[in-house]
Amino acid sequence: MKYDFLTIERKWQEYWDSKKTFRVPDAETKQKFYVLDMFPYPSGAGLHVGHPEGYTATDILCRYRRMKGFAVLHPMGWDAFGLPAERYAMQTNIHPSVTTGRNVDTFRRQIKMLGLSYDWEREVNTTDPKYYKWTQWIFLKIYNSWFDPKEHKARPIETLEHELAAHGTKNLEIEKHFTSDDWKNKSKKEKHDFIAQFRLAFVAEIPVNWCEALGTVLANEEVAEWTEKGYTVERRPMRQWMMRITAYSDRLLEDAKELDWPVSTLEQQRNWIGRSEGADVEFQVKGKAEKIRVFTTRPDTLFGATYMVLAPEHSLVDAIATPDRVQEIQKYRKETAIKSDLERGTEKEKTGVFTGGYAMNPTTGKEIPIWIADYVMMGYGTGAIMAVPGHDDRDMEFAKKYNLPIIKVVDGGSNAPECFVEDGIGINSSNNEVSLNGLPTPEAKKTIAAWLAKKGIGKATVQYKLRDWLFSRQRYWGEPIPIIYLEDGTMKAMDEKELPLELPSLEKFQPSGTTESPLALATNWINVVDKETGLKGRRETNTMPQWAGSCWYYLRFIDPKNDSAFCDATKEKRWMPIDLYVGGSEHAVLHLMYSRFWHKVLYDLGYVSTKEPFVKLRHQGIILGEDSRKMSKSRGNVVNPDDVVKEYGADSMRLFEMFMGPLEEMKPWNTRGVEGVFRFLNRVWRLFLNEEGTLDTSIQDVTPTIEYERLYHQTVKKVGDDIDGLRFNTAISQMMIFVNETMKLEVRPRKLLENFVLLLSPFAPHLAEELWEKLGHPKSTAYEPWPVYDEAKCAESRVEVVLQINGKIRSKVTVAKNTSDVELERLALDDANIKRYTDGKRIIKRIIIQNKLVNIVIAG
């Protein structure tokens, strides 16, 4: 009988489904193991061959761990909010929930077709109001929290109110302080506005990336993706929701050290956070009250600051500019405003305009000109710099172009380049109060920082590149933000009990025509009256970005049907943290940073028990087309999993994707390779079953030979170890070796072959279940104990020992294992080939490694 994979696979998928084989109860005494796949966005195109790679890998591990006696949590769901469904709705007026539902059905069918062992009772969908109720709930928790710098964690906003009522702003790091009495005398609106600036979710007027064609703003990190697709993105100031992820900069950095993640991903996150140590310094503007604050990583070069540069958008520009310069400044500002950050970056030559104003270098008291230039960014540091052209490449370039003075204040030795940016020895840096001359850079930094602090014009600080997270989108198809703007100018968060705030259904899915989302057109939904105060209010029309739902879905899987909490605390403790998280490296900084941030807020507020959600992370590599190029429709090299499964079966598909090479590597698809593993599965089939489809007579209860038993134990060991190490390719080769050897036998020991079926079952579960049944076992392989190997029986009894002359192999001998050094040496020296080299030569040295080699070093 032929290996009829279509029938077999359908049969076992139905079996697993109807018996709920992979359902995992929460209360169990077994050790827990939580393995998570990044859940997909269910696009209209269906699954591509890239998806099953990671899913198969985790599936093999999960099936293996179940057999090893673990309680395995392995869920799947849908990250289903997103722009494509909304754009489709604009064209067709079909509600996004309809298309989303269709796409989810396709994805679910395709995933089930691969025999992946998910617990389908835990399926979640981010667009389900029962799910996004809790996304909104977490939003409110974040909104109703502030970051307490003393405790270095998020705390409920009431604690800030209590603090202000008790101590005023005494313990807060802000510019303008007030007392507790001042606080009590403030109006509702004043209090509201003051508190608002401390919330972890807040509204700010900031320059954003507005995309007219999409009708929405984009996060900085999303811009590249859309400009690559040909969309135009411009900078414009807008009121937007932000999340204060910057408060967590150093904790995100610090806690990353404990994570078992790919180094490149950790590195990317580190760069993204971009911590740099330096100092803030204040420069007095000549003849004005204004002071300019700058951040510098090289405060030791302060004596060499010969001019200053403000970002064109800097708020002090108008105050500093002299009347004769105003026109030119306006022109320059206009020019830079239309440039995107990207264009500003690719500009070859630096440009700038003198403001007419001067500042004092605090160390020398000298007047230095203040310029504006777009090589200084408003978004980093203070948006202003002190320019030290002697020791900064950019400042040097600018100074040369505009003939600004250059002073050397760090000695870099005789070979130092014209612009020396490294650490060196301070020179030309002294005044009546402080001298950096002769000091190595690190000491000079400390000395000047102390001086700045004493003078009250600066202090050592730390800056981060990380910016706050732009959290709102002008879209319909996202979670509504549960905030109401009241007519008294205050904002009111909805009560938790009122959640979910569901999306209204729209007649037409059209852009609002303004910068608001299409929700602005749902007048009935938008206008509300506050029950508490009777004030009229208007709902927030922005929705959350797609990242919101995926920030916490791993928690919902733990308790997906809970109506009274996002996740039961006991269950959370049972399953968290995630033991293995597998997904694409394209999420290295976005999803993986945002969800760590949310997790830490939830941790601070006491809702989760671990600091980090994902202890171990791995990325699956990209699967390229057969031509070794990226798969794309236009290249016509896309491989569809449906076709592969139809032709070779899901087991072959799974096996091939794992056999291609290391999980994390990028590798090309190869249809011949699928045929190769398909042949292997056919061999396995024929190993067990004859033409009639009954058990082959060669399988008998016999004692295996020592050699065959050894191979068996080696195979059990290697397959298990390799699954744990996610080295599926080598596990498969070992099984192939085992099968090749077994094929040679005329009589095949039944017990060992039965166990082999179990070894194969995580990889090719359908085939394994079928064979297991034919072998007379009524129960599924899913919870059969994993075969145990005997270490002693893995060891070879005879080993080949290499005989070398000066490190080159000249002969080999096969000896009993653990043959003594003395005996090995004797064998080597007696060996005919070795003798040819040693005859008449002086032996200088003998190196003997037991069970490995003898190396004889001879003179000449």
Partner RNA sequence: GCCGAAGUGGCGGAACUGGUAGACGCGCUGGACUCAAAAUCCAGUUUGGCUCAAACCGAGUGGGGGUUCGACUCCCCCCUUCGGCACCA
Q: Which two tokens stand for residue 777?
A: 């076992």
Q: Which two tokens stand for residue 848?
A: 């003997």
Minimal distance, residue 5 CB to RNA, in Å: 14
Count of residues that interact with RNA, criterion CB under 7 A: 86
Q: Which of 809, 817, 818, 826 binds RNA (CB under 7 A)?
A: 809
Q: Residue 138, Cα to own-chain centre: how many angstroms? A: 20
CB nearer to RNA: pick between 330 and 730: 730
CB nearer to RNA: pick between 106 and 670: 670
Query: Is 729 a residue that touches RNA (CB under 7 A)?
Result: yes
Minimal distance, residue 66 CB to RNA, in Å: 25
Q: Which two tokens stand for residue 187?
A: 């109006």
Q: DSSP class of residue 549?
A: H
Q: DSSP class of residue 304?
A: G
Minimal distance, residue 154 CB to RNA, in Å: 25
The phi and psi torsions of 217 (rounded to 5 degrees) equal -90, 160
Query: Is 847 a residue that touches RNA (CB under 7 A)?
Result: yes
Minimal distance, residue 304 CB to RNA, in Å: 11
Q: Which range touches RNA (CB under 7 A), out of 65-73, 488-496, 529-537, 734-742?
A: 734-742
Q: DSSP class of residue 359?
A: E
Q: Within 584-613, which residues bind RNA (CB under 7 A)? A: 585-586, 588-589
Query: Is 278 a residue that touches RNA (CB under 7 A)?
Result: yes
CB nearer to RNA: pick between 313 and 559: 313
Minimal distance, residue 607 CB to RNA, in Å: 31
Q: Which two tokens stand for residue 172?
A: 């807060």
Separation between Cα atoms, residue 828 and residue 808, nearest integer Å: 13
Tokens 């941790």 belong to residue: 603
* Ramachandran class of 806: left when φ > 0, alpha when ψ lies in -120 to 50, beta otherwise: left
Separation in Å, CA 256 to CA 122, 244, 554, 740: 29, 19, 19, 45
Query: Is 736 a residue that touches RNA (CB under 7 A)?
Result: yes
Q: Which range touches RNA (CB under 7 A), out of 34-42, 115-123, 296-304, 754-762?
A: 296-304
Minimal distance, residue 363 CB to RNA, in Å: 16
Q: Within 677-696, which residues bind RNA (CB under 7 A)? A: 677, 679-680, 682-683
Q: DSSP class of residue 29?
A: S
Q: Which two tokens stand for residue 270?
A: 């580190």
User: How many other C-beta atoms can be found within 10 angstroms of the C-beta atom of residue 231?
Assistant: 14
Convert residues 191-220 into a mask of x (bound to RNA by CB under 7 A) and - (unbound). -----------------------------x
What's the number of CA atoms in the CB half-sphere (13 Å) around residue 64? 25
In this structure, is the dihedral angle defined by the CA atoms of residues 791, 794, 797 and 800, taken in order, positive or negative? negative
Q: State the distance between the two ends of the chain, measured CA to CA, in whole angstroms.
A: 67
Q: Which of 58, 127, 135, 296 binds RNA (CB under 7 A)?
A: 296
| Full strand arrangement of the beta sheet holding 808-816 | 808-816, 798-805, 853-858, 843-849
Query: Is 733 a residue that touches RNA (CB under 7 A)?
Result: yes
Closest of 800, 810, 795, 818 to residue 841, by C-alpha: 810
Q: Which of 580, 810, 824, 828 binds RNA (CB under 7 A)?
A: 810
Report long-range pairs for 286-293 (Cβ below 8 Å, ≥24 apart). Answer: 286/357, 286/358, 286/359, 286/360, 286/367, 287/358, 288/319, 288/320, 288/357, 290/316, 290/319, 290/320, 292/316, 292/359, 292/370, 292/382, 292/384, 293/382, 293/384
Minimal distance, residue 726 CB to RNA, in Å: 11
Whether 320 contacts 370, CB under 8 Å: yes
Query: Is 381 a residue that touches RNA (CB under 7 A)?
Result: yes
Q: Within 305-324, which residues bind RNA (CB under 7 A)? A: 311
Query: Is 660 a residue that touches RNA (CB under 7 A)?
Result: yes
Query: Is 740 a residue that touches RNA (CB under 7 A)?
Result: yes
CB nearer to RNA: pick between 79 and 313: 313
Q: Which of 141, 350, 539, 717 binds RNA (CB under 7 A)?
A: 350
Query: Is 806 a residue that touches RNA (CB under 7 A)?
Result: yes
Q: Which of 40, 42, 383, 424 binds RNA (CB under 7 A)?
A: 383
The residue type of 139 is F
Minimal distance, residue 603 CB to RNA, in Å: 27
Q: Within 83-112, which residues bind RNA (CB under 7 A)? A: none
Whether 325 contacts 353, CB under 8 Å: yes
Minimal distance, residue 661 CB to RNA, in Å: 3
Q: Which of 84, 207, 274, 440 binds RNA (CB under 7 A)?
A: 274
Greatest CA separation for the chain? 110
Within 8 A by CB and 6+ apart from 526, the residues are 519, 520, 538, 539, 541
Within 8 A by CB and 6+ apart from 161, the residues are 191, 195
Query: Is 392 a residue that touches RNA (CB under 7 A)?
Result: yes
Query: Is 6 a residue that touches RNA (CB under 7 A)?
Result: no
Separation between Cα atoms, residue 549 and residue 127, nearest integer Å: 8
User: How many other C-beta atoms can be found within 10 angstroms of the C-beta atom of residue 119?
Assistant: 20
Query: Is 811 a residue that touches RNA (CB under 7 A)?
Result: yes
Query: Is 224 a residue that touches RNA (CB under 7 A)?
Result: yes
In this structure, is the dihedral angle defined by the CA atoms of residues 12, 15, 19 and 20, taken in order, positive or negative? positive
Q: Which range touches RNA (CB under 7 A), out of 264-272, 506-514, 527-535, 574-582?
A: 264-272
Minimal distance, residue 838 CB to RNA, in Å: 12
**Beta bridge partners of residue 262, listed in sequence order:** none
CB nearer to RNA: pick between 37 and 313: 313
Separation between Cα atoms, residue 493 and residue 131, nearest integer Å: 19
Q: Within 817-836, which residues bind RNA (CB under 7 A)? A: 833
Q: Which of 732, 758, 760, 824 binds RNA (CB under 7 A)?
A: 732
Query: Is 707 a residue that touches RNA (CB under 7 A)?
Result: no
Q: Within 441-470, which residues bind RNA (CB under 7 A)? A: 463, 465
Q: Which of 104, 567, 645, 853 binds RNA (CB under 7 A)?
A: 853
Minimal distance, residue 819 CB to RNA, in Å: 14
Query: Is 659 a residue that touches RNA (CB under 7 A)?
Result: yes
